[in-house]
Chains A and B, each alone.
Chain A
Amino acid sequence: MDRRRFLAGTAVVALLPFDRAAATPDAMAEAIRKVLGGAAVREERVKLDMPPLIENGNTVPLTVSVESPMTVGDYVKAIHVFNEKNPQPNVFTAKLSARNGKAIVGTRIKLGDSQKIVAIAETSDGKFWSASADVIVTLAACLEEST
């Protein structure tokens, strides 16, 4: 590690409010375990749409769609989204029912760094389905001072 990179690294560490809990891949895994409650999850039926290269982490468009007939007998009950590097692992939980017709939810999220995002869908039969995306967050240039 050269000196410049080391200094840059210490500067970043100094800026982090490290008395706060930070999400980690472990914290995300723990948050996911809470939702699953021991059930198995299959990487099927869920689509997580995000731009692979993010120009600014403050507003990242994200759409989760789940293949489901969305009938009274067979629908998506919930969609959970998690991240592994923001201060908290939970991003959102959406509650759905057959009234939605389509299991598609869109919003915009904040991402402090390049990381993995996981979406998990729970269907009315109690099964869990997932998808994940690795996204790269680029740093903005020419930031103004926060005065």
Chain B
Amino acid sequence: MTGLRFGIVLAAVFGASLALAQGGSDKRRSGYRDMGAALQQMQDDDTANPGMLFVQQGAKLWEQRVGTADKSCADCHAAANVSMKGVAARYPAIPSGADKPIDLEGRINLCRVDNQKAPPLPPESQDMLALLAFVSRQSRGLPIAPPDDPRLAAYREQGAEIYARRQGQLNLSCAICHDDNAGKKLAGVTIPQAHPTGYPIYRLEWQGPGSLRRRLRNCLVGIRAEPYPAGAPEYVALELYLMDRAKGMILESPGVRP
């Protein structure tokens, strides 16, 4: 804990990458560390990080009253820098009264439907990504901390099973690239270890922001596998497994990735 706090202080003092604040013998690497200096600087500087455009938009949406309940996020949750701190580090989770895990997008839409009485935001829509970026930004610098909920174990196991399963025409699993061959090159790009440290990320390839789900779909298309349909429980299972695998790593949201 001291090491972690020291790391955060260092990062704050030098404006250095939070991704580097992770300590010692831990071999896990955020994708941030596989990027060149120019992209690291783009992420580190809030006045240059294009993801911050979406954080700013999310801050406006946070205050906006919507739905037949005519409520804003702020009406219930007040200041996000207090109420949302650590939330993105924790999700996916099982919300109270429910029996299945949902991810942060799911949580935002649950709030919209149940509390604001508004229609859910479409996946990957600009408003959803903006709210996601704004909420996730409140956890920047915090360690990924999956909830200690025994009901999640079965879902994590399902995620681990999907992660290790060969699929698609290329007959690859997530693990073959991101465990066995991480750090090596694929088409000139370093294969990352696939830790979800920066979501939603501003991905240069997309010329915009996107969620972890979109990235997972990209990977599936990349190995010529059929992506799971939108809203499929497989995504949440994979997210649960990935967050558990990255437990203790520092959140950087909004991350910049190539």
Min distance, Cβ A139 to any Cβ of chain B, angstroms? 5
- Taking a contact as CB atoms under 8 Å apart, the answer to whether A59 and B207 are in contact is yes
Tell which of A25-33, A49-57, A121-129 binds the partner: A49-57
CB of A54 to closest CB in B, whole Å: 8
Majority-rule SS of A interface residues: loop
Q: Is the CB of B219 within 8 A of A142?
A: yes
Task: Tell whether, in the assembled complex, residue B217 and residue A144 are in contact, meaning their CB atoms are under 8 Å apart.
Answer: yes
Q: Which of B20-71 contact A (CB under 8 A)?
A: 35-39, 41-42, 50
Q: Which chain A residue shows the least CB distance to B41?
A: A61
Contact yes or no, A55 B36, CB < 8 A: yes
Q: Determine if B42 and A145 form an interchain contact, defined as CB atoms under 8 angstroms apart.
A: no
- Give B151-162 as 1s and 0s: 1 = Cβ < 8 Å from A's Cβ atoms: 000000000000
Residues of A in contact (CB 8 Å), total 16
Output the nearest chain B residue to A50 by Cβ-Cβ distance: B38
Chain B CB within 8 A of A143 CB: yes
> In the complex the two chains form, what is the Cα distance from A139 to B42 in whole Å?
20
Q: Which of A55, A140, A145 has the most CB of B within 10 A?
A: A55
Residue from B35, B205, B217 having most chain A Cβ neighbours under 10 A:
B205
Cβ of A141 within 8 Å of any chain B Cβ, yes or no, is yes
Closest A residue to B203 by beta carbon equals A56
How many residue pairs bridge A and B at CB < 8 Å?
58
* Interface check A138, CB cutoff 8 A: yes
Q: Are A140 and B258 in contact (CB under 8 A)?
A: yes
Q: A110 to nearest B CB, angstroms?
A: 9
Contact A61 B204 (CB under 8 A): no
A141-B186, A144-B217 known; A51 vs B38 contact (CB < 8 Å): yes
Q: Which of B191, B204, B207, B221 contacts A55 (CB 8 A)?
A: B204
> Which residues of chain B from 214 to 258 have a CB within 8 Å of any chain A CB?
214, 217-219, 221-223, 258
Known: A58-B207, A140-B258, A141-B187. 18 other contacts (CB 8 A): A51-B36, A51-B37, A51-B39, A55-B39, A55-B189, A56-B204, A58-B204, A59-B207, A61-B38, A61-B39, A138-B187, A140-B189, A140-B205, A141-B189, A142-B218, A143-B222, A144-B218, A144-B222
Binding site for A on B (CB under 8 A): 35-39, 41-42, 50, 186-189, 191, 204-205, 207, 214, 217-219, 221-223, 258
